[in-house]
Chains A and B, each alone.
Chain A
Amino acid sequence: MIQVLAFYLFAIMVIASGALVVLARNPVHSVLWLILAFFNAAGLMILVGAEFIAMLLVIVYVGAVAVLFLFVVMMLNIDFAELRAGFVKNAPLSVAVAVILLAEIVLGIGAYRVGLIELGTPDGTAAPILGESNIENIGILLYSRYLFLFEMAGIILLVAMIGAIVLTHRESRAVRAHQDITKQNMRRPEDATEMKRPEVGQGVEL
């Protein structure tokens, strides 16, 4: 009973906040609704017993990616009126994207039900149980059957990261004061200061 209630609560929240991401007038509000959607999606994951995925969703998307979104959107100071003006023009495009996504989901679930790929039992009732918890299950699968794909994903991410750094890195032309932390730490008071005891009425020669 409580699972059903929880499921409908999370599902309605996901859809409602997803809709509000698009409908909100203020981009910052949109990002916050998106965060709520992520969070409720994590709730749905917990309901199907995938607590590891749920935690990763919160850590990666809510804790890191969405913070950067929010950061950028807050900094940009977007003109809301201008943003709204393009809505009618871009509406067909967004509908097309939505239809493609829906078709993909239907196709994916259909293929899963037919059971060509061994992801779980074909009728979709239960996934095969390998280890004790689903962290162990994911670990066992990821580091044995899907090792190559997993490593590939890692390498693609690495390449993307290096690409981003190369694109944004600019060799600064201006002469900048360079800070050498080790040099600063190695500096002792004796190197920097000198004790003088001048006689009364006499100055110090520098």
Chain B
Amino acid sequence: MMNASMMISAMDTSLYMDTTTARTLSRSRAGPSAIAKPKFVRFTNSTQTGRNVSKVRWLLDNSYMGVPDPYASEYFVSGSWSSVGDVNDICLWGLDVGPSAKEGEKDSKVTLITKAVVKGNVTDMSVLSGDRFCLCTSDGALYVYKGNKNRDEKFVSVTQAAAGQLFSYRGRNSHATAIAVKDDVIVTGGEDGSIVECNSAGLNVIRRLERVDPLSITTACFVGRNEVMTGNGGGQLKLWDLRNNSNEPVQILNPNVLMNNLYGVSSICQHPSQTHAVIVGYQSGCMDLWDMRLGPECDPIANLAGEGGSLSEIYFHQINSDHFFSCAQSGQVCHWYPGERLSNPLQVPVEYTTDLNIEFLKKGLVFKEVHTSPFPINSMSLSRNDRIVVGSDSGVVFCTEIRV
């Protein structure tokens, strides 16, 4: 059974129209004076890190009170790749937002708080509780860091699992590629198809699934307390139950071959409340919505054709879960949300009697460009204060506000 796919072409530029224009024109001494005033004035901040940014993540905001605070100070970490000498940076940045001298506008400042170096490319990152975060590298190593928001203190590498310990084959280190975190458990996946479960405290290996995927694991995501979903280079999704004794996945979801032939999975993102629903991004630029309850050999519920260019990461908005965000190698950061009218529903397989309460399935999906760059965007992160940070191969980390 094939799903009819939907091309989403309706682009709404009204909300974020200030993105690029404002930034670039502000450089000129006398830019054209007639820049249309946007409805929602958000801050935008571009900071050059000097390295190709592979991952960015907000640290958990401990002072979050349940309501987004537009003036909260927040912290994020960035990791780089492809630097000269194969030594890469991990940076802790602080974002401060304050009211501007101009009415209704905001000033924002991103400052580098501290920096550490790590060998190999940073391939994935995930935040833990208590200002800690973990990352894995192309050397196959796994690190846990504690970011001290205090400017004077150094970055502390809390623990580190040596490269050889995690992923290696015939004495050669293999690349770690994906990380997933649930409470204090870290699961990493490698290019050799291994999955390793560690605890975050000492990075002791709890479970090792040696080369269980014949292809390389490209991304991982916890979908239950003990269940990890991984995506591989061939576009397959596999669900692993860590309690299970066997080394076999409990469920395999094959990609929609007509859309995703030979393209790998690039991102998996779980719906915040309906946890059996996941949106999966592929290197082909497609996004599929899966209902894991349908069991193996099912088809995606909806196939969302993107704008082209490999997708890098997808995130649901944690509160308003009908909205989600994607960033792609084509340089686009998009905000996806249900359409206004019921005229444009996504086509869902006939036999799927939906009990998935996802609004855009009924109303259709539209998107806005939050940011565009001519260079590939590798990573993004959403904070609880409705900020977004984006890292790209141009070395720029771009922060802005979102409105859902």
A and B assemble together: no
**Interface residues, chain A, CB within 8 Å of chain B?**
none
